[in-house]
Amino acid sequence: MPCDVKPRFVILYGSQKGQAQSIAEGIAEEAEEHGLVADLSCLSQNDMYNLEKEHAPVVFIVSTTGEGEPPDNALRFVRSIKKKTLSNDHYKHLSYALLALGDTNYANFCNCGKTIENRLKQLGAKQFYATGYADDGIGLELVVDPWLEGLWAAIKGTLSNMASDTSAASDLRPAISAESPDLASQSHNAANVATSAPNTQKGDAGVPHVELAASLTRSVPPLSESTLNVPVLPPPYLDISLQEGDTSEQLYYTTPSVSIMFLFQMTGPPNKDSLHEVPISKAVQLTRGDSVKTALLLELDISVSMAYQPGDSFDVFCPNRPAEVDELLCRLGHQNQRNHQVIISLRKDTKKKGAVVPPHIPEKVSLLFLLSWCLEIRSVPKKAFLRALVEHTADGAQRRRLQELCSKQGAADYNLYVRDAGLGVLELLRAFPSCSPPLGLLVEHLPRLQPRPYSAASSCLRHPGKLRFVFSVVNFPACSGRPAGRRGLCTGWLFDLINPGLVFPGKAESSGCPALPSSSFRPPSDPSVPFIMVGPGTGVAPFIGFLQQRENERQNNPKAAFGETWLFFGCRHKDGDYLFREELEGFVSSGALSQLKVCFSRDPREDEESVTSAAQPRYVQHNLLLHRRHVTDILLRQNGYLYVCGDAKNMAKDVNETLMEMIKTELEVDQLDAMKTLAGLREEKRYLQDIWG
Ligand SMILES: Cc1cc2nc3c(=O)[nH]c(=O)nc-3n(C[C@H](O)[C@H](O)[C@H](O)COP(=O)(O)O)c2cc1C
């Protein structure tokens, strides 16, 4: 092999939500450092690769979706290798390695990876590196990181075998036997993973065995041996002292355990006038007990004096969990000063530009109040915060790891173990027991505790004096640094407050509440204008309010003209988490809802490979596509409205892309014009979103 030509290998990925893709891209980016050239393609780009003629090592990174199905962009590939007409030596020339992503919370763990692997073997392909089965349920990184670490040696080994035996490439000895141990069993044992020592070696059959090692508190080479570039230490700029004396927060808070407090358009610290403490009058679990997600409906007794419109949202202000606050007080060494007043001022010598005492901390608050209501103690520490923590850490190894996590070289570890895991400062302090930061550091680095916005899921025409909303209980899974999973702060708090299913007798305490802030996420003021609602999961909440209002209007004005109403709803299982099923079907019967289009992403389907708009749509965007004629007619010809509510990252993005495609096809315009049309709809406030995430 001429030394100026870098050896090449191929990376192919199949990815539904981007994780497999980003791992594949990461490998491609690193290739050069290893003196290799990577040809990266998605499995759907079948004009970019040709496995029939490929002699270079091929690395597959594939996830599984649905109920054990291939990602959309791997479907065609999987179908093509399943063809019965292929002979047993079809891929005799092929050397491959495979990383399968999956989640053990699903029945068919890594099914797509396993299907591809089995078929490649049946067709004569040779495995040159043990397959990794990474489990998103416990953290992909537990398998992905060590797998990636061993991959380079395996590729190079295979390439050098090929180079030394170019005359008989097909005679290459398989680097791994079919029985070779793989990483699957290790992926199920998080404890093993966290404690084993870092090492990558060759096993008996030449199989690179990978011992798993890196974790939040431990690094492996090369990071553990690198020189680090750490950020500059941010100088402290606040002086904080604790004094015995009167505190004033009880002016506007009472015990959080019995009432929900919510506030509107809050600017600055919450105060007596912006908060409304109201009782819960009803709590209902909307999902079946065995559903993966728990969705709850809460009804608040807001008294007759408050007006709101369907589509309005409001903020729930919830405190940090008392147990976490207590633990933090202990870690800071202030457990006996919880009721002391916190005095905060700027350091006289501070050179920090624009330094101010954080405006979200009211004067004369107690330390307990500060940690309970003012600071987001579960926020993910930024690198500057980690850098500052180094200065307060006694143990050398812990200091080094904190330095790594905030360094340029440790960026991937920070992303994996801190950012993506959603680790809070308390979890970090548990993992680094010799770290004892002063209170001031927390006040300087922790952001304000934010209220959580929710959409009203009721109309006050239907439920006078009541405000309903719906939420799913958020779960943060266990990870390195968090031995057990935990619930989201606000949804966990609400969950604890209500004991789902119980009806609480309420005593109305709110008075003189203002109307909610004006919002444009409201049904069209002219009832003859048609509208489309897209709200999968708890995104359906505001549309229940829309439709309750519409039903009421229809009853009161039977002769008026009403535009068509369409609702696109989606969930996992028809029998598990179909929220408001009866109420929605009732809207259809009464005529308030003209069309109800529902799809179930995880129910078994007749046509197993149908994932798009064909016979059985899986997601709302597929259903929109299926009804594109009507949707575009309502939007573009009848000047109708389109509302989207729910998850921003995936659903709203996918819906937006689908709309663009629909506009392109229906109006026969190019991408740019389709974008302009959508932007125009947004500007006219006919394409409205209430999205989160
Ligand atoms: C809707 C959905 C369905 C899934 N179904 C499965 C499954 O049946 N089996 C499995 O092992 N993993 C399943 N997973 C987990 C994914 O394979 C895993 O999260 C993976 O890391 C996603 O990678 P990707 O972003 O490249 O698609 C599913 C994930 C989602 C979001």
Per residue in 457-474, pLDDT (tens digit) is 888 888 888 888 888 888
- Residue ranges, CATH 3.40.50.360, the chain: 8-213
DSSP string for 204-264: TTS-EEEE----SS---TTGGGS---PPPPPPP-EEEEEE-S---GGGT---TTT-EEEES
pLDDT for residue 211: 40
**Does the pLDDT of residue 160 top 50, yes or no?**
yes
Query: For the ranges 59-63, 169-173, 292-296, 337-341, which has the lowest average pLDDT?
Result: 169-173
pLDDT in tens, 616-629: 789 999 999 999 99
Report how far apart, in Å, the C-alpha atoms of 254 and of each of 261, 276, 314, 607 are. 10, 11, 20, 56
pLDDT for residue 180: 31
How far is the centre of ligand 1, averaged over its atoms, from the C-alpha of 613 (Å)? 20
Query: For the ranges 148-152, 200-204, 238-242, 401-405, which has the lowest average pLDDT?
Result: 200-204
pLDDT band at 38 (very low <50, low <70, confident <90, very high): very high
DSSP string for 226-239: S---PPPPPPP-EE
Instruction: State which ligand 1 atom lies nearest to the alpha carbon of 572.
Output: 1
Say which residue the tokens 């057990």 belong to. Answer: 484
pLDDT for residue 338: 92
Average pLDDT, the chain: 82
How far is the centre of ligand 1, averaged over its atoms, from the C-alpha of 472 (Å)? 20
Rounded percentage of the chain residues whose pLDDT exceeds 70: 82
Q: How many angstroms separate the CA atoms of 62 and 111, rounded?
A: 10
How far is the centre of ligand 1, averaged over its atoms, from the C-alpha of 14 (Å)? 11
Among candidates 326, 331, 328, 323, which has minimal Cα distance to 434? 331
Residues 2 and 32 sit within 8 Å (Cβ to Cβ):
no
Where is pLDDT greater, at 693 or 624? 624
**Ligand 1, residues 106, 116, 140, 605: which to mutate, most atoms within 8 A of Cβ?**
106
Instruction: State which ligand 1 atom lies nearest to the alpha carbon of 14.
Output: 26
Question: What's the one-letter identity of residue 285?
Answer: Q
Question: Residue 571: beta bridge partners?
Answer: 600
**Hey, what are 489's tokens?**
């702060």
Instruction: State which ligand 1 atom lies nearest to the alpha carbon of 601.
Output: 1
Instruction: State which ligand 1 atom lies nearest to the alpha carbon of 100.
Output: 17
How far is the centre of ligand 1, averaged over its atoms, from the C-alpha of 9 (Å)? 26
pLDDT band at 508 (very low <50, low <70, confident <90, very high): very low
Say which residue the tokens 């501070």 belong to. Answer: 350
pLDDT for residue 281: 81
553-577 per-residue burial string, b: 16 or more CB within 10 A, e: under 16:
beeeeeeeebbbbbbbbbbbbeebb
Establish how many alpha carbons lie within 13 A of residue 295's alpha carbon, considering only the half-sphere containing its beta carbon. 20
Q: How far is CA 573 from the centre of its chain?
A: 20
pLDDT in tens, 134-145: 988 777 888 888
How far is the centre of ligand 1, averaged over its atoms, from the C-alpha of 485 (Å)? 19
pLDDT for residue 184: 35
Please state the rounded mean pLDDT for residues 307-329.
85
The pTM of the full predicted model, rounded to 2 decimals, is 0.54
pLDDT for residue 119: 95
pLDDT in tens, 239-287: 999 998 766 654 344 333 333 444 433 334 455 555 677 777 887 878 8
**Does the pLDDT of residue 602 top 90, yes or no?**
no
Instruction: State which ligand 1 atom lies nearest to the alpha carbon of 71.
Output: 27
Q: How many angstroms separate the CA atoms of 23 and 27, rounded?
A: 6
Q: Whose CA is nearest to atom 27 of ligand 1?
A: 16
Q: How many angstroms separate the CA atoms of 686 and 682, rounded?
A: 6
**Ligand 1, residues 13, 60, 98, 103: which to mutate, most atoms within 8 A of Cβ?**
103
Ligand 1 pocket (Cβ < 6 Å) reads: 15-21, 63-68, 71, 101-103, 106, 108-111, 136, 140, 601
Query: For the ranges 365-374, 498-507, 548-557, which has the lowest average pLDDT?
Result: 498-507
**Peptide bond before residue 222 is cis, with ω within 30 degrees of 0:** yes
Q: How many angstroms separate the CA atoms of 33 and 12, rounded?
A: 20
**Ligand 1, residues 43, 62, 101, 112: which to mutate, most atoms within 8 A of Cβ?**
101
Angle between helix 141-164 and helix 19-31 axes, rounded to 10 deg: 40
Which residues, at least 6 apart from 74, have a Cβ–Cβ distance to it below 8 Å? 14, 15, 43, 44, 62, 112, 116
**Ligand 1, residues 11, 15, 16, 60: which to mutate, most atoms within 8 A of Cβ?**
16
pLDDT for residue 390: 97
- Residue ranges, CATH 3.40.50.80, the chain: 521-692
**Hey, what are 313's tokens?**
């949202």
Residues 623 and 568 sit within 8 Å (Cβ to Cβ):
yes
Please state the rounded mean pLDDT for residues 490-497.
79
Rounded percentage of the chain residues whose pLDDT exceeds 90: 52
pLDDT for residue 589: 96
Where is pLDDT greater, at 425 or 646? 425
Please state the rounded mean pLDDT for residues 118-125.
95
Please state the rounded mean pLDDT for residues 53-70.
93
Residues 348 and 421 sit within 8 Å (Cβ to Cβ):
no
Angle between helix 653-667 and helix 671-683 axes, rounded to 10 deg: 120
How far is the centre of ligand 1, averaged over its atoms, from the C-alpha of 68 (Å)? 8
pLDDT for residue 426: 94
**Does the pLDDT of residue 111 top 90, yes or no?**
yes
Instruction: State which ligand 1 atom lies nearest to the alpha carbon of 104.
Output: 11
Please state the rounded mean pLDDT for residues 2-28.
87
Domain spanning 8-213: CATH 3.40.50.360: yes
How far is the centre of ligand 1, averaged over its atoms, from the C-alpha of 509 (Å)? 46
pLDDT for residue 274: 58
Among candidates 187, 12, 186, 23, which has minimal Cα distance to 116? 12
**Ligand 1, residues 25, 63, 611, 618: which to mutate, most atoms within 8 A of Cβ?**
63
Q: How far is CA 233 from the centre of its chain?
A: 31
Count helices and strands (H / E) in the chain. Answer: 20, 23
Instruction: State which ligand 1 atom lies nearest to the alpha carbon of 134.
Output: 21
Q: How many angstroms separate the CA atoms of 464 and 632, rounded?
A: 36
**Does the pLDDT of residue 660 top 60, yes or no?**
yes
Instruction: State which ligand 1 atom lies nearest to the alpha carbon of 23.
Output: 26
**Does the pLDDT of residue 189 top 80, yes or no?**
no
pLDDT for residue 126: 93
Domain spanning 521-692: CATH 3.30.1490.20: no
**Does the pLDDT of residue 107 top 70, yes or no?**
yes
pLDDT for residue 205: 40
Question: What's the one-letter identity of residue 505?
Answer: P
Q: What is the largest CA-CA distance in the chain?
A: 88
pLDDT for residue 145: 87
